[in-house]
Structure 1
C-alpha cells in the first residue's frame, strides 16, 4: 500500500511484533502467537478418531457401509478413500483440505490415510494441521457369501453359454473379454461344460446384465425361463430360479462359408463362397476372389441360421511355389489386400505325387515363393452342405488360402512367448474335457493366433513379467516384448489399421 504526498510516494510497511508466548519476532496476527506456539497450544485434530475399524468380506472383496450396505472398492482407489472418509466420525467439525493414502504392507490388514484439515481457533486465526488415521480391516463374510458357503447351490440365476462347434477358440477369446471388462464379477460360481460355460449369479439382475454384455461382444441369441422353487399362499410370496439360455453363432473367424442364396442376394449378390474375417456382434465377411467385404448383423444371421462349410480344424498346410500379382492393392476397411494367382502344393504330398494347384488368393501382398500357407482343400474334401446344393452349376476352386503360416517346428507358444493370459476360476463339470491334450493343443493354437495377429490383442489384458499390460498402442506391444515370428514385418500395419 502506498500514499501519495505531493511529488513523493511513501511505501507503508508491515511492522513486526513479538510472540506473546516464546518472544520471537513475527508478523502480527489476531492471536499474537507464532505458528509453532499455535500448533502446541491448539490441536484441531483431537476431535478425529485416529483408529477406525472397517469390515471387509474376503469372498466378494467388498466393504461394509453400515448399517447393511456392501460396496466394492479397489485398493487405494477414489471409492475406497471416500468410503474411509465416510467412516470417520466428526470429520464435519473441521475443514478437510487434502487426503491421501500412505503405503502399507498389503497383508498387514491396515489402511493409513493422511489428512490435512483446517479450523478457526482464536480470534479468526485459521490453523492447518495434518494427522494420520489408521483403519483396521476386520474380515467378515457378508450375508450373501455366507449363504453361498453354507449351500453352494443356492443361486437364483444361471446363464448357460453354448456354442456348438468342434473347438473352444471362441470361449478362450470370450474369457479374456470377460476378464478385461470384469463382466463376471458378480458370478458366485463358474462351471465349464462340454459345449460351453455356466455362470451362476445370486440375483436375476446380475445375470441379465451379463447377458447384455454378451450381446455387445458376440452374435448371440438368448432365451429366458424360470422355475418355481417354493411358494407361500398365505403371504402370497414365490421363489423362482431363473435361467438364460445363450447360444453363440457357430460361425468363427477364418471359417469358409457358403452363403444361402437369399442372404447373398440381400447383400448385393455377394459371394457365395466367403471367408469370415472378424466376429463381434457383427460378422465381417470377405470375398477372396473379388476383395469385396460385407457385414452381417446377428439378426440377419439368426433369420437364416447357416453353418460354416469348413472350419479351422480342417485347414491344410500348403507350400507356395509361385505368386503373380493380378491387381493393385485394395484397402478394405483399413486392411490391405492384393489379388494374386499362385501355384501351391500340399506339404503332405511331397515325395508322394507331383500335384500342383493353381489358385487365386487375396494374400498376394504377403505371400512369396517358398512361403507356407494354410488353406481349405476343396479338391479332396468330402463336402455335404445344403446351402451349396442350392447353387446349380457352381464350380468350386481346388484350394482357398486363408492365411500365411508362421509355425516353426517344435515351437510352443505357451512357454516361449514373453506374455501370458489370465483365466477364470472355473470348475470342470462331468462330461467337460478340461485339461486334456486336445484342449491344451487348442489353447496353444489360440496363443499362436494372438501372437500372429496383433490387432486381436488390443481388446485383451496381457501379463508381462507378473504385471498386467493394457494393450492400447503399438508402443505397449513393444514394451511387453511380443516374440513374434521372423516374417512378421510382412504384415505391415498402417495408420488406417491403427484407427480401426
Structure 2
C-alpha cells in the first residue's frame, strides 16, 4: 500500500500570505495555521484515508457458464481485464464511496489491473483515491484491492444439472416419415429465440422434446408454435409431492403438441365440398407452404387458397403423394411457351413477368434421354422460372397408383396431368454432382440437441435418413425465396474463397447475372446471406493433424482496448506498499465507470 500523498488546495498559497504562520507541531517548519497545526507532509504520513475501505473482497463465478454474480439472482458475462469486470469489482468494494465514520466521500481518480497468476483464483486492482481531510488539504493515496474468486453455480446451471429440475415438458410431434418440417421449425426457433429458457432439447425421429423450468416459459413456447404451424394440443400433469403443512403440491406438466401432417410440396386431391369452400379451386392442389395456415396452390393455373388449422383438424386431409425424394422424378426442360393472361380492364396493368408466370413446358425424363423420345407437354405455375436445358423435379402421374379411389379413377380417365412440376433445381444439384452440398455458398445454424439413445444399427439408419432429409430441406430453401425470408442464411467458408478475385475460375460462379431475359427470382442472392458465425467446430479427423490456434487477447490487451491501465508481470512484482508523497494543487479528474455494466 502506498503512503498518502499531501496535496495543497487551490487556496493554500493565498492563505499563507493572509495569516500569521505557525510552526508545525511535528517537524517545526513554518506553515499556515490549521486545525491540527500540522504541515501537509506530516499530516499525510500520519493519516490513512483508506480506513474503512475493504482491501479483500470475494467474487463468485459460475464454473459452468463462466458468468459473474452481480446481485441477488443476476449473473452477467464479463471478460477478464474488461471494463465490465472492473465495474463489477469496484461495485463490490465497500466504503469506496463513503469512508467509515467520517461520512465524507472518497474521490476515485484511477484504477488499474495488476497481473496475477492465471490459476491463482485472484484478481488485483490498484486504486488511487483522493480525500480532503482539512480545509485546503487534499490527500491522495494508492492501494491494492485483492478479489478472491469463488465458484458458485448460477440458477440456470443448477437447474440444468439438478435431477428432475424441469417442471414442464413440451413434446412436439408430426406423424410423417421425414423431418423437413422440423428442420424448418428449428430455423424459425433460432431466428426468433423461442428456445430461450429451455433447459435441454431431445430429438427423436418423429419429433422433439423441450424441457422448461416452469410452466410459464413452456406456455410462451407453445404460443410461438401456434403462430408458425397448425397444431393441436393435449396437456396432462403428474403429482410429484405434497406438503400437507403448507397445503402446497408439486406438479410436473406435459404438453403434447401435434403438428399438421401435411408438408410442403405434398399433392392433394380435395373433396368437392372443400374445394368449393376454398373459392372453387381445382381439386388437384399442392401444398405451397406451411405457416399458421396451410397454403395451397393449383399447380396448373397458379390459383392459391388458404386452409385454416381448425378446418383441417375438423376434416383431416391425406395427401395422395407425399413429398419424398423417392416419389419425385427429375425432368429436363426441352422447351417453354409462355401463357399470357387475358387482359382485365378492371385491374391495374400487369407487368410482363406477371403476365407470363404460367408456361407450357416440354419435358423429358432425365433417365429417358438417349433411351427413348418420350416427351410431356404440361402447363406449370412455376414455368416462368424455366428455360431450355434446366432441370426440375416433379411427380410423374403416369406410373403412379393412388390409394384414393376417386383420384385413381380421374387419373385412369386422363383427366389429371401426366406431370406436376414441383420446383427447379439449382447449382450442383441440377448437374447431378455428388458433392453438390459441399459447394453451397450458404449454411444454416442448428440447435444444440441431445439424441435419444438407440442401438448402433438404428442410430446409423436414423443418421442416414436425417442427412437425406437435411439435403432435401436445403434444396427447398434454395428454390423458395419466401421460405428464405422467414429464416437466417449464413455465408459459408467456401464463399470466402470465391471472393478471392485472384482466382477467376472460382469468381465466375458468383458473378451477378445481368441477363434481362432471365426471370428467375427464386435463386439465392448474395445479399440474402448474413456474416458467417463460429458455429462449427473442427472435424474430428483433423484434430490430431492440425495444430489448433487459440484465439484471445494478449496479457493486458483487453484492458488496453477498454482504456484501462494495466500493470504487467514484472512491474507487479516491483510495486512497493508505500511510496513517497507528491504534492498537487487541485483534485484530479474523477475516474468514470458505469456501475450498471
Q: CA deviation at 1:265?
A: 2.2
1:134–1:341 CA distance, 2 compared to 1 (3 A): farther
- Secondary structure at the residue paired with 1:191? strand
Q: Does structure 2 conserve the Cα–Cα contact (< 8 Å) formed by 1:413 and 1:444?
A: no
Counterpart-to-counterpart distance in 1, 2:436 and 2:309: 33
What is aligned with 1:442? 469
What is aligned with 2:367? 348
What is aligned with 2:394? 375
Higher strand share: 1
Q: CA deviation at 1:212?
A: 1.7
What is aligned with 1:403? 423
1:112–1:352 CA distance, 2 compared to 1 (3 A): farther
Q: CA deviation at 1:168?
A: 1.0
Question: Which runs of structure 2 are paired with 1:197-212 in the superposition (5 Å)?
Answer: 197-212=208-223
Deviation string for 1:110-166 (max 9, x for gaps)? 999999999999989999xx9999977644224664465353x54322111111112
Q: CA deviation at 1:193?
A: 1.4
1:92–1:233 CA distance, 2 compared to 1 (3 A): same
Question: Which runs of structure 2 are paired with 1:206-221 in the superposition (5 Å)?
Answer: 206-221=217-232
TM-score for the superposition, normalised by structure 1: 0.70
- Secondary structure at the residue paired with 1:384? coil
What is aligned with 2:249? 238
1:31–1:426 CA distance, 2 compared to 1 (3 A): farther
Deviation string for 1:48-85 (max 9, x for gaps)? 77886443334466554544x24465879999999777
1:396–1:230 CA distance, 2 compared to 1 (3 A): same
Q: Does structure 2 conserve the Cα–Cα contact (< 8 Å) formed by 1:96 and 1:117?
A: yes
Q: Does structure 2 conserve the Cα–Cα contact (< 8 Å) formed by 1:359 and 1:398?
A: yes
What is aligned with 1:175? 186
What is aligned with 2:338? 325
Q: Does structure 2 conserve the Cα–Cα contact (< 8 Å) formed by 1:29 and 1:125?
A: no
Question: Which runs of structure 2 are paired with 1:156-195 in the superposition (5 Å)?
Answer: 156-195=167-206
Q: Does structure 2 conserve the Cα–Cα contact (< 8 Å) formed by 1:375 and 1:402?
A: yes
**Does 2:428 align with 1:423?**
no
Q: CA deviation at 1:358?
A: 1.6
Q: Does structure 1 conserve the Cα–Cα contact (< 8 Å) formed by 2:340 and 2:355?
A: no
What is aligned with 1:472? none
Q: CA deviation at 1:447?
A: 2.9
- Secondary structure at the residue paired with 2:474? helix
Counterpart-to-counterpart distance in 2, 1:250 and 1:320: 32
Q: Does structure 1 conserve the Cα–Cα contact (< 8 Å) formed by 2:410 and 2:416?
A: no
**Does 2:485 align with 1:492?**
no
Counterpart-to-counterpart distance in 2, 1:421 and 1:185: 19
- Secondary structure at the residue paired with 2:385? coil
Counterpart-to-counterpart distance in 1, 2:282 and 2:129: 71
1:79–1:410 CA distance, 2 compared to 1 (3 A): same
Aligned residues: 448
What is aligned with 1:13? none
Q: Does structure 1 conserve the Cα–Cα contact (< 8 Å) formed by 2:55 and 2:144?
A: yes
1:81–1:272 CA distance, 2 compared to 1 (3 A): farther
Q: CA deviation at 1:180?
A: 2.8
Counterpart-to-counterpart distance in 2, 1:315 and 1:100: 69
1:64–1:390 CA distance, 2 compared to 1 (3 A): farther
Counterpart-to-counterpart distance in 2, 1:412 and 1:75: 41
- Secondary structure at the residue paired with 1:456? helix
Counterpart-to-counterpart distance in 2, 1:284 and 1:65: 49
- Secondary structure at the residue paired with 1:370? coil
Q: CA deviation at 1:405?
A: 1.8
**Which of 442-451 and 136-145 deviates more?**
136-145
Counterpart-to-counterpart distance in 2, 1:115 and 1:216: 54
**Which of 428-437 and 155-164 deviates more?**
428-437
Counterpart-to-counterpart distance in 1, 2:111 and 2:297: 54
Q: Does structure 1 conserve the Cα–Cα contact (< 8 Å) formed by 2:180 and 2:469?
A: yes
Unaligned runs of 5+ in 1: 1-19, 23-27, 470-480
1:454–1:342 CA distance, 2 compared to 1 (3 A): closer
What is aligned with 1:473? none
Higher RCO, Cα 8 Å, sep 6+:
2
What is aligned with 1:363? 382
What is aligned with 1:9? none
1:336–1:327 CA distance, 2 compared to 1 (3 A): closer
Deviation string for 1:11-62 (max 9, x for gaps)? xxxxxxxxx978xxxxx967779xxx9xxx9999998778864433344665
**Which of 401-410 and 118-127 deviates more?**
118-127
What is aligned with 2:153? 141
Q: Does structure 2 conserve the Cα–Cα contact (< 8 Å) formed by 1:433 and 1:439?
A: no
1:29–1:182 CA distance, 2 compared to 1 (3 A): same
Q: Does structure 1 conserve the Cα–Cα contact (< 8 Å) formed by 2:68 and 2:78?
A: no
Counterpart-to-counterpart distance in 1, 2:402 and 2:318: 13
- Secondary structure at the residue paired with 2:311? helix
Which of these two proteins has the greater Rg computed from alpha carbons? 2
TM-score for the superposition, normalised by structure 2: 0.60
Counterpart-to-counterpart distance in 2, 1:116 and 1:455: 60
- Secondary structure at the residue paired with 2:446? coil
Counterpart-to-counterpart distance in 1, 2:387 and 2:110: 62
Q: CA deviation at 1:356?
A: 1.7
Q: CA deviation at 1:245?
A: 0.4
1:66–1:375 CA distance, 2 compared to 1 (3 A): same
Q: Does structure 1 conserve the Cα–Cα contact (< 8 Å) formed by 2:61 and 2:149?
A: yes
Q: CA deviation at 1:492?
A: 2.8
**Does 2:308 align with 1:288?**
no
**Which of 361-370 and 409-418 deviates more?**
409-418
Deviation string for 1:382-415 (max 9, x for gaps)? 1113784898989211111111122222243443
Counterpart-to-counterpart distance in 2, 1:336 and 1:134: 76
